[in-house]
A and B are shown apart, each in its own frame.
Chain A
Amino acid sequence: MSTPYDIAVVGGGIMGSGAALRLAEGGMRVILLEQGDIGQGASGVNAGTLSLQIKRVRLMPYALRGHQEWKRMGAEVDYRETGGYTLAFTDREADLLQERMTMKQEAGAPIGFISPNEVAVREPGLCRKVVAASWCPADGFANSSLTGRYYRHRLKAADIDVREQCGVTEIHRDEPGFTLQTSSGPVQARRLLLACGGWLKPAAAMIGLDLPVRARVNTVSVTERGPRLVSSVIGHATGLLTLKQKGNGTVLIGGGWQGLGQPGEGGNRGRVDAGSVLPNLRLARYAVPGLKELRIVRSWTGFEANVPDFYPLAGAAPGVDDAFLLGCVRGGYTIGPFISQLMGDFILGRQPELPLFDPARDFTKDIQP
């Protein structure tokens, strides 16, 4: 067998690809193993929203840095800094909006409040039932479909050994390092980074870890091309709507409505539940009445992994030398390009710019900043 790699990265989404790039820049010989196609899991099927208004307060510094990374990727991922509105349609929602956006503002997001009249002037395609709204000029979106193309190109340029359609079936501890059994033969590496999103639980089980990871099954729908209805990202005080109209006129509708299935249960991307996609479409139709003229051409789901405290796993695998975990990052599309760099720095023995999230923590307690 050939010389072991310095590290095997399992998972070719934003997390794994981003970390692999950082590790290769740091001089490591990296192999990246992806069971499907690069960037085709949650990284490629999410709604592409880059909104500070829907980020957790504690993760705001990471999200702000993530936005910078997306801006840098620019046209290659169809990045658009359109700004975004979050809308409240009832007094209860207005209270929620006030409380939450104030805290996010204090955490550093450039969020302001604007009057319903001003919203109506700036986004005439929205319904007139807005009672309160916030605005963040830094919000926008990218085209998540292009994640795979973007990272495949960069991984190739960095001379990283990438294997697509290459699932890992077993991981054995060597002294030192690991041997991974894959669908294209064994791979030896001195270190191991598991960055496989919804599949983190079964992958971690291969090195003897029982992680309390569950996958949320987020639903996104897209319309056919239509006339211009909105020009910025539209959200809802509860977080249950994200909506944006892309350059080609299609409208993407998300908001974390839950589909069905878990990773490994027949099909790799979960299933759409008509019972949740309908209220999602109704909320969208309520916010943007002009949607009534359009048809949905596709609804889909992707797995978003999380642990019980809904904070990331990013650090050393508990009790397994030379193994590392990266996943469960709430807002992972936004934050991924940045936190994957932190993870790479950590593995390279450098001091990460911002703290990581120790996977050995007690998930029942709130994280102290």
Chain B
Amino acid sequence: MAEQQTPPISPIAPVAPVDVLVIGAGPAGATAAIKAADTGLSVVLADEQKAAGGQVWRAKSTAILSAPSTPESRAGDDLRHRLSASAATCLFDHRVWQIQPLDQGWMVALTGPEGPRVITARTVILATGAQERIFPVPGWTLPGVIGLAAATALMKGQMILPGQRVGVAGAGPLLPFVAHEILRQGGEVAFVADLNGLADWTKLTPQMLRRPGLALRGAGWLARLRAAGIPLLYRHGVRRITGDGRVEQVEIGPVDDRWKPVDNQQTRSFRVDAVCLGHGLAPATEATRMLNCRHDHDPALGGWHVATDDLGRTSIAGLYACGDGAGILGAAAAPVRGRNAAKAVLADLADKSGAGQTSPASNLRSVSAFGRAMTSLTIPRDGILDQITPETIVCRCEGLTRGDVEAGITAGGVSPNALKSDTRCGMGPCGGRFCQETAAMLTARLTGRPVEEIGLPTARPPLRPLPIEAVASDFDYDELPIPAPAPL
């Protein structure tokens, strides 16, 4: 191995840094970009999707443009319209794979249709949103099982149904939405199994009425599901999903108020060809963890999230976060948080001495009340671990069962990094997105420590799997910056 200097990345180096690079073009990021551009800053907005809107206001694919609009598609169309009228430069279909600090500002490496690309920016706003949380249950890795949020994306973007006869299970507001959407798009819903009880929902009525339009739509979904004779099973969870090579049958049973399966005589089986399963959203933290930002654990905000001040400043100067990535507050809060982050950037760039003085929009609390209430329905209760049998796959990338993971913990792998090294739990392509929370809860249970003490594993680039061909296809061997060899 040799001493070497770090060479610059050759492709498409920008001439000058932009004032702000926004990563993620959902309602938070796109609003931040519009606001920052409107105040005269130079802005680049990057997103891996082909259009702005994120998950919640996802653009319809060209194949279904003629489909009737929905409140979400209209909100997205408005956002996309305002974005195209703004001076922000949009890089859609671009994936950020690395963010690294420079002496001044940031260097961000992306891949896109024209190949690898680097952008330097004085500040970065991360609006990377949320990821779906799914707790394992026997059979959850069978083809035909899909996340509630993934099913939402499929139906919003493509109008593709997850199956012809679908079981819908888990926790949170996506349950009635997905079930109703399946019905609306012509599918059959076998049942809706909700870990929460009806009382868990009704006690949130005051907060839900903060968005009366959406609350009314929700009531309408439930009414239509009931009218269609679909069993709405509260305090019920999936016991097991079975089938020969794909989903054929799902067994549902009651749970207690800790979501622990009880009354094994009371289970019911349904023939289905798909199951939509999900337990809420968790903030996407891989970018902020990779950059060593401070993180806090708050179950009411989706668990681990990057810590920010009221305006979205992270613990690292020049790096901001907004939207659900900074704690799940929902779609209505996202634009407000985006505007706040843009304000913070503007103030900080104008006032080089540090935190510029500016005040956050005062209405965040009220616009987030609905989102907070919905998130509260998805706070994992410890009994959910009891739905996971010892033979159930926990880390699907590496095929590790609950028994494998627990053996690793018992053998001394009690920190997330040690457990990952010892067992490979979380080492696969998903980067631990699916198994990390379950592994941490199992560690907490086995070691008798609170889950927030277990912490998070080190996050590393690339932020998304990086095709080697995307960064190493077009080069000249003689131009590889090969330094002098090591001393003999």
Contacts and interface: CB of A to CB of B under 8 A. Distances in A.
A271 B461 CA distance: 9
B484 to A, nearest CB: 8
Interface of B: 1-2, 4, 6-9, 97-98, 100, 107, 109, 116, 118, 292, 411-413, 415, 417-418, 420-422, 424, 427-429, 431, 458, 460-462, 465-469, 471-473, 475, 477, 480-483, 485-488
Nearest to A100: B488
Interface string A264-302: 001101011111111101111110000111111111100
Given A240-B482, A274-B9, A300-B460, A282 B472 contact: yes
B480 A282 contact: yes
Given A37-B418, A257-B4, A278-B9, A297 B428 contact: yes
A188 interface: no
Given A56-B487, A274-B107, A276-B6, A281 B100 contact: no
Top 5 closest pairs, chain A to chain B, by CB? A256-B1, A295-B465, A37-B418, A285-B472, A274-B109
A90 B116 CA distance: 27
B460, B467, B481 interface centre (most CB from chain A within 10 Å):
B460
Nearest to B422: A149
15 contacts: A37-B421, A40-B417, A44-B421, A56-B487, A103-B488, A164-B415, A237-B485, A256-B486, A275-B7, A278-B471, A286-B480, A293-B468, A297-B429, A298-B431, A300-B458
A293 B127 CA distance: 30
Given A240-B482, A281-B472, A258 B4 contact: yes
Contacts of B486: 56, 239, 256, 310
B102 to A, nearest CB: 10
A295 B430 CA distance: 12
A359 interface: no
A207 interface: no
Nearest to B10: A278
Given A37-B415, A299-B460, A238 B98 contact: no
B473 A292 contact: yes
Contacts, number: 166
A28 to B, nearest CB: 23
A152 B475 contact: no
Contacts of B107: 274
A235 to B, nearest CB: 10
A274 B98 contact: yes
Contacts of B477: 89, 129, 286
A68 interface: no
A146 B467 CA distance: 27
B461 A146 contact: no
A326 B155 CA distance: 60
Given A37-B418, A149-B421, A299-B462, A282 B1 contact: no
A122 B469 CA distance: 25
A223 interface: yes
Contacts of B465: 224, 295-297
A260 interface: yes
A146 to B, nearest CB: 7
A107 to B, nearest CB: 10
A266 B477 CA distance: 35
A40 B6 contact: no
B422 A294 contact: no
A201 B467 CA distance: 39
A319 B475 CA distance: 53
Contact of B6 (A224, A275, A286, A295): A275
A19 interface: no
A327 B442 CA distance: 36
A295 B485 contact: no
A296 B460 contact: no
B1 A278 contact: no
Contact of A281 (B411, B418, B471, B481): B471
A75 interface: no
B472 A148 contact: no
Contacts of A294: 467-468
B107 to A, nearest CB: 7
B417 A295 contact: no
Contact of A238 (B2, B6, B458, B471): B2
A272 B9 CA distance: 13
Contact of A295 (B411, B468, B482): B468
A54 interface: yes
Contact of B1 (A100, A240, A275): A240
Interface in A223-242: 223-224, 237-240
A39 B109 CA distance: 31
Contact of A148 (B8, B100, B418, B483): B418
A239 B485 contact: yes
A336 interface: no
Contact of B467 (A96, A129, A148, A295): A295
B472 A40 contact: no
Interface string A132-169: 00000000000001111100110010000000110000
A218 interface: yes
A299 B481 CA distance: 19
A44 B318 CA distance: 32
Contact of B469 (A37, A278, A292): A292
Interface string A162-205: 00110000000000000000000000000000000000000000
Contacts of A279: 7, 480-482
Contacts of A37: 415, 417-418, 421
Contact of A283 (B100, B420, B461, B480): B480
A286 B468 CA distance: 11
Contacts of B473: 285, 292
Contacts of A269: 458
B485 A96 contact: yes
Contacts of B116: 278
B2 A256 contact: yes
B421 A148 contact: yes
Contacts of A257: 4
Given A218-B1, A299-B460, A310-B487, A274 B118 contact: yes
A312 to B, nearest CB: 14
A181 to B, nearest CB: 22
Given A224-B465, A274-B98, A274-B109, A240 B6 contact: no
B2 A152 contact: no
Given A238-B485, A298-B431, 17 more contacts: A44-B421, A56-B487, A145-B421, A216-B1, A238-B2, A238-B483, A256-B1, A256-B4, A256-B486, A272-B98, A275-B7, A276-B7, A277-B461, A282-B480, A292-B469, A296-B468, A300-B458
Interface string A74-111: 00000000000000010000001000100100000000
B429 A295 contact: yes
A272 B466 CA distance: 14
A327 B62 CA distance: 61
A255 interface: yes
Nearest to B459: A298
A285 B480 contact: no
A367 to B, nearest CB: 11
B8 A275 contact: yes
Nearest to B118: A274
A223 B294 CA distance: 29
A147 B422 CA distance: 8
Contact of B468 (A223, A266, A298): A223
B100 A273 contact: yes
B389 to A, nearest CB: 25
A272 B100 CA distance: 8
B415 A240 contact: no
